Chains A and B, each alone.
Chain A
């Protein structure tokens, strides 16, 4: 079992719709969770961080965390063509040295006009 798992996609979403991305993780003691957006050939860009159970909203993005079920999700509302990218889920394992993050393989999102 991979430490952080994501569906690779592509997730095809009509413009204006909601894109829903999921991520599961294996380390039950993990405390910090992050979503990064990565455009092709570019560096990952942090878009959301979440540390406690529940929802966290930032603009059109909502991160949801359920530690009991060991999953974290990202919702993108009113999806725009500029949201077309790969979204990486990252988890800080409980016993990680320093600020080590473990990344999922990413979900590719395609927003179609």
Chain B
């Protein structure tokens, strides 16, 4: 089954404790992206990757890092999380424009 997976699905953490949210896709897509979704602000792109070792900032990259060492994986790293990063996070992958989303990770930073 073609899918995008994310882990963990739910995470409660404290300010400053580094965390990684994993994302994996099995569709051999070159393009992957991370979004956050907040009430009233909609979906906003954090980072994207056009292929292995090719990443770039989206609209709201501050406080986040990413890496793309393999085509299928695109982890999101929060090195020092802060409460304003409490949000619902989605990973997505794409081949020709239509993006397919993972199930989401609900992150709470206390």
**Contact of B14 with A by CB under 8 A:** no
**Contact of B74 with A by CB under 8 A:** no
Which residues in B have their C-beta under 8 angstroms from that of A42?
Answer: 103-104
Count of chain A residues with a beta carbon within 8 Å of a chain B beta carbon: 21
Which residues in A have their C-beta under 8 angstroms from that of B88?
Answer: 41
Q: A42-B104, A43-B103 are in contact. Are A99 and B94 (CB under 8 A)?
A: yes
Which residues in A have their C-beta under 8 angstroms from that of B48?
Answer: 97-98, 100
Chain B 71-110 residues near chain A, CB threshold 8 A:
88, 90, 94-104, 106
Query: B98 to A100, Cβ gap below 8 A?
Result: no
Across the interface, B42 reaches (CB within 8 A) one of A43, A46, A104, namely A104
Query: How far, in Å, is A65 (CB) from chain B's closest CB?
Result: 14
Which residues in A have their C-beta under 8 angstroms from that of B50?
Answer: 97-98
Across the interface, A46 reaches (CB within 8 A) one of B31, B98, B103, B106, namely B98
Main secondary structure of the interface of A (DSSP, over half): loop
Query: How far, in Å, is A62 (CB) from chain B's closest CB?
Result: 18
A8 to chain B: closest residue by CB: B40
**Contact of A109 with B by CB under 8 A:** no
Interchain CA distance A100-B33 in the complex, whole Å = 8
Interface mask (A85-113 → B, CB under 8 Å = 1, otherwise 0):
00010101000011111011110000000
Query: A103 to B42, Cβ gap below 8 A?
Result: yes
**Contact of B43 with A by CB under 8 A:** yes
- A–B complex contacts, Cβ < 8 Å, 28 sampled: A41-B104, A42-B104, A43-B101, A43-B102, A43-B103, A45-B101, A46-B100, A88-B43, A90-B99, A92-B97, A97-B56, A98-B48, A99-B31, A99-B94, A99-B95, A99-B96, A99-B99, A100-B33, A100-B45, A100-B48, A100-B58, A101-B99, A103-B42, A103-B43, A105-B40, A105-B41, A105-B42, A106-B42
B interface list, Cβ under 8 A from A: 31, 33, 40-43, 45, 48, 50, 56, 58, 88, 90, 94-104, 106
Closest 7 CB pairs of A and B: A43-B101, A99-B94, A103-B43, A105-B42, A98-B50, A99-B31, A32-B97
